[in-house]
Chains A and B, each alone.
Chain A
């Protein structure tokens, strides 16, 4: 079922190792990094918006509508 005879064969990719792993490595990096960056953006955005809302609420408290 498995095409390769050894792990070494798999890594060497018939002499194309640099090109195959250079492609797959960067693709894997991008597709792991992007979701992490989106998750981080969500976290910082929520924290920022909550701070803004709290600040707005405080100003509203201090200066009630005339």
Chain B
């Protein structure tokens, strides 16, 4: 029984910290490799789009950034629920580590969307369902960061942040289905696994870029969660040992 694989073991920062450190470079390397392959396919090989000309190439970063902005929020809401239900230390660290990356992804989604909307729709911004709900997602990220930063007691900050995350999660399906539920300027989904409307090189380029963004987000979040773990666990034996070791390197 003692040797049985125990998932709860990884919830302990003392175990997760070195594990995250070992995994982080692999995710970073995967992000670079997928990114180079995706850029090569998307920017150099893929043909032009018959409707949008070369302007469509913004899709290779716009869609991955938008997916990640929604997915990271869902992961944060998952950790928030775990944290509220089981009172685990790791969940608050995870949400704190993911939030800045999620906010940046939401910003990139809006930024690249504006730079795509201007030539195609003739405007940087419209208050339509898809764009507005994505803007609300950015505000939810910023709200989470501001709220948790404003509360000195870390455990209370985690709890308040977790509540905000769970209330805000309703926004994610609204973003996702907005192009179906409302009449909007925003085009529908281009990726359909049964019958895609995209050329094969375009589709592969986009999937590779999505993998790149995915790996990037994991690598950055792992690196950040390690710093947060040291900050929050500084009085534990493992953190003291780690700090002593980190000093020997520098």
* Chain B interface category by residue count: 35 or more
A46 with B55: CB separation less than 8 A: no
Q: Closest 6 CB pairs between A and B?
A: A14-B54, A16-B55, A23-B112, A13-B54, A23-B115, A19-B115
Closest to B240 in A: A53
27 contacts between A and B (CB under 8 A): A2-B44, A3-B48, A10-B43, A15-B54, A16-B57, A19-B119, A20-B58, A23-B61, A23-B62, A23-B115, A23-B116, A34-B104, A34-B220, A35-B28, A35-B219, A38-B220, A38-B227, A45-B231, A46-B230, A46-B246, A46-B250, A49-B230, A49-B231, A49-B243, A50-B247, A52-B234, A53-B240
Choose from A2, A14, A30 the contact partner of B55 (Cβ within 8 Å): A14
Interface membership of chain A positions 34-65, coded 1 if the CB is closer than 8 angstroms to chain B and 0 otherwise: 11001101100110011011000000000000
Q: How far is the CB of A53 from chain B (nearest CB, A)?
A: 6
Taken together as a complex, chains A and B put the C-alpha atoms of A52 and B58 apart, in Å, by 47
Q: Does B45 sit within 8 A of A, measured CB to CB?
A: yes
Taken together as a complex, chains A and B put the C-alpha atoms of A45 and B55 apart, in Å, by 43
- Interfacial chain B residues near A23, Cβ < 8 Å: 58, 61-62, 111-112, 115-116
- Interfacial chain A residues near B62, Cβ < 8 Å: 23
Taken together as a complex, chains A and B put the C-alpha atoms of A45 and B246 apart, in Å, by 11
- Which residue numbers of B lie inside 8 Å of A, CB to CB? 28, 43-48, 53-55, 57-58, 61-62, 65, 100-101, 104, 107-108, 111-112, 115-116, 118-119, 216, 219-220, 223-224, 226-227, 230-231, 234, 239-240, 243, 246-247, 250
